[in-house]
Amino acid sequence: MKIVELINNIKIPITNEENELLNQFEGQEPIYKNSLSERQQLLANQLVNKDILTRRIQDGKVLFKKKIS
């Protein structure tokens, strides 16, 4: 388990698997959903629910972007 701090200074635990995925978002670059495996897509959706990632549609494609600092 890891602890991440949200923008509003709330600390939230995430699993090691979610942390591995979150590490792919270094540099604030968005990642397109279709470039993730099915398991990674599930983890990304869990991180969206925890308010750590944002999910947007751009040019008809779904992308995830890191929301925390």
Domain boundaries, the chain: 2-66
Residues 25-37: pLDDT tens digits? 887 788 999 999 9
Question: Which residues have C-beta within 8 Å of that of residue 58, sequence separation ≥ 6?
Answer: 30
Which pTM value belongs to this model?
0.86
- The CATH architecture that domain 2-66 belongs to is Orthogonal Bundle (1.10)
Residues 47-61: pLDDT tens digits? 999 999 999 999 999
